[in-house]
Structures are given as C-alpha cells and as structure tokens.
C-alpha cells in the first residue's frame, strides 16, 4: 500500500505534552498517538486504549492452553481404537 508523507503539523505545547503523556501511558510512540488522535480524538484514544498493554499480560498456564486449544484429534488413540482401525481379514 503506498504511503503519503504529510507535512509537519504545528501542535500547541500543552496538547503536545498531553499527547506524550498518553503515549507513555499506552506504551506507544507519540506519532502513533497523534495519528490515532487525528482520526478519533485524543479523549477517545485514551479511553479506548487504556488498560493493560498486551506485552504486560501474563501468559496462560500450560493447563489452560491445553484446555482451550486442544482438539479431540490431537489426543493419542487408545489400544481399542487402534485395534478397531486395523483392516478386517476376510475368512478363507
């Protein structure tokens, strides 16, 4: 996708300070916050994005991962299932 370079925008000092504070709180660059604020408005950016940043979340324990992401076909087959899957010999 082609990009378009926009000329620098002059921003009032108090607004720039607020952009930097929001950027620091959200762990984003000031430029990212500025772009989002142009689209949504700074209060909406702050309200939408405040919370726990994804890189600070604790990973799921292995038991939960297995419970949520395991599928029945991932489970090992039992001896009975393996025996039932063998080809049946025709009597001679």
pLDDT digits (tens, 9 = 90+) for 4-27: 666 666 778 888 898 898 888 888
Q: Does 59 reside within a domain?
A: yes
Distance separating alpha carbons of residues 73 and 83, to the nearest angstrom: 17
- Name the domain count of the chain: 1
Q: Does 36 reside within a domain?
A: yes
pLDDT per residue over 73-82, tens digit each? 777 778 888 8
pTM attached to this predicted model? 0.45
Q: Does 92 reside within a domain?
A: no
Q: Does 40 reside within a domain?
A: yes
Q: Does 19 reside within a domain?
A: yes
For residue 49, the enclosing domain spans: 13-69
Phi, psi of 26 (to 5 degrees): -95, 0
């Amino acid at each position: 996708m082609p990009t378009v370079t926009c000329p620098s925008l002059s921003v009032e000092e108090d607004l720039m300070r607020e952009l930097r504070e929001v950027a620091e709180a959200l762990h984003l660059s000031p430029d990212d916050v500025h772009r989002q604020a142009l689209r949504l408005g700074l209060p909406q950016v702050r309200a939408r994005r405040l919370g726990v940043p994804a890189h600070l979340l604790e990973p799921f324990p292995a038991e939960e991962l297995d419970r949520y992401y395991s599928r029945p076909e991932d489970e090992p087959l039992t001896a009975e299932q393996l025996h039932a899957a063998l080809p049946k010999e025709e009597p001679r």
